[in-house]
Structure 1
Amino acid sequence: MYEKIYSVWEKEQKEESLQKLQANFYIEAKKFLEEIKLDKNESDPLASKLVKKEYDILYLILNDLINIRLEKILRNIHAKKELNTEKLTQEEKVVYEHLKNAFSQLFNGKSLSPEIRVIEEKDETFIPIRFLKQIPAIVGSDMKIYGPFQVEDIATLPRENAKALILKNAAKLLFFQQI
C-alpha cells in the first residue's frame, strides 16, 4: 500500500489534471496508517523508530496529496469547468459539490454564511470532518455505527451528526481546514 500511495502522490504532482482515485482510497489509506501506528509500539527501539518515520512520511505524503487534489478541484471550479466526478473519492465528491455551490453563489453575487449554515440544509447528505477530540463509536442519524475516532481522523458522517460534533468543538469541517 505504501508504494501505491507514493505512486498516486507522484503522479498527481506531475499531471495537470486530476488522476482517477478509487472511491475508497482515503479509507484504505487510513486503515494502512492505523496498521503502521500499531506497529510503532514494537519492543525493538530501532524498529520502532523506523516505523514511526515511515508513518510520519506517509502522513505528510497523504496530506500533500489532499492539498494537491483540492487545489486542482478549486482551479476547475474557479475556471467554471465541469469536473469528471468519477475521478474523485467519496469525500472529495462531497467537498466538490459544496465548493461548487459556494462559488456559484459568489459568482452570482449571493453572500455566504458561516460554515454551520452549510450543514443546515435539509437533505440527508454526508459531511467530511476532521476530529479534534477522541470520540467513541456513535450511532448516526441513519442508524449506522460510526467510529470510534481518534484526534486528526477524517470521516464523512451524516449531516446531523457532523453538525453536532462541530458545535461541540469535537470536529471541524474538512474543507474549511488548512491541511
Structure 2
Amino acid sequence: MLCVTHYKTMTDIKITYETLFDLLRRERNREELQPLDQTFYQDVLAYLHEKRSLTLQDTHTAAMEKARIQFQNIKKILKELYDRREKKLVLLALNTVRIGAEVTDKNALLKEEQRLFDDLIATFSQHRKEILDTVLTSTDAPPPKQPPPAQEPASTSAEEVAVTFTKAVPRFAGADEHVFGPFKAGEQATLPEKIARVLIKKGRAEER
C-alpha cells in the first residue's frame, strides 16, 4: 500500500503505473519532498516482481507486449523519482548545515532517506569544520608578535679614545656643539676619536 499527501491524506492507494506517474508529477511540481508511505520501496519491489512475471510469459499477445513496455517505463519513472528526491535531500541537508537549524518536519523522509540525510549532514558538517571554519578561525586570531627591531648599537669604543691630558685644556665645543672640559694636566677622559687625535697631535694629551 502507498500513502501520500496532496492537500489531504489518501490512504490505501494500490500501486499502479498511473499512481507512480502521479507521484513523479507531484515530485516534479513541488520544491519540498512529497510524503510517501514508509513501505514505499518494499511495495514497489513487490509490484515490479509482479510486472516482471507477466513479461516472462511465453505468450505474445498485445497485452503481454504492453506489459513489457510498461515495465520499462515504470523503471524509468522510479529512477527519476529517486533522482529528484535525492537532489532535494542533498539541498535540504546542505541548507540545514549552513543555517545550523534542525529540520522540523521529517515526515516526508523514508527510513532509507533518513539514513542518507544523516550521512550527508555529518559529511557536510565535517568538511565545513575542517575547511571553512579553520580558515575563518585562523584569520580571526591576532597576528603573531614581531620581534622588536634591532637597536643601533651605541657608540663603540672604536669611535672613542681614552686619553690623559698632559696640559691643561680650557672648555671647548665639539663639531656637534657638545661642550667638553675644562681639563687639568694629568686628568683622564674618553673623547670622540677625532677630537682626541687633534689633542694628541697638538701634544696636549696622550692616548691611554
What TM-score, normalized by structure 1, do the two folds share? 0.57
Distance 1:89 1:39 in 2: 29
2:124 is equivalent to residue 99 of structure 1: no
* Equivalent residue number for residue 59 of structure 1: 75
Aligned match of 2:51? 36
Give the number of the structure whose alpha-carbon radius of gyration is greater.
2
Structure 2: runs of 5 or more not aligned: 1-14, 132-208
What's the offset of the Cα at 1:57?
A: 0.4
- CA apart distance, 1:77: 1.3
Give 1:107's aligned amino acid.
R
Q: Where do 1:64-79 residues align within 5 Å?
A: 64-79=80-95
Change (3 A) 1:60 1:82: farther
How far, CA to CA, are the matches of 1:109 and 1:53 in structure 2? 49
Conserved 8 A contact 1:18-1:72: yes
In 2, Cα distance between equivalents of 1:21 and 1:108 = 34
Match of 1:48 in 2: 64
- Per-residue CA deviation, residues 97-146 of structure 1 (Å, 9 max, x unaligned), is 11111111111117xxxxxxxxxxxxxxxxxxxxxxxxxxxxxxxxxxxx
Counterpart of 1:160 in structure 2 is: none
The separation in 2 between residues aligned to 1:108 and 1:47, in whole angstroms, is 58
> What secondary structure, in the 3-state scheme, does the structure 1 residue paired with 2:36 have?
coil
- Identical counterparts, % of pairs: 22
1:34 is aligned with what amino acid? H
Q: How does 1:29-178 map to 2 (within 5 A)?
A: 29-45=44-60, 46-80=62-96, 82-83=102-103, 84-109=105-130
Structure with more relative contact order (C-alpha pairs < 8 Å, separation 6 or more)? 1
Distance 2:113 2:92 in 1: 13
Structure 1 residues 11-43: Cα deviation after superposition (integer angstroms, max 9, x where no partner): 000001111111111111111011100110223
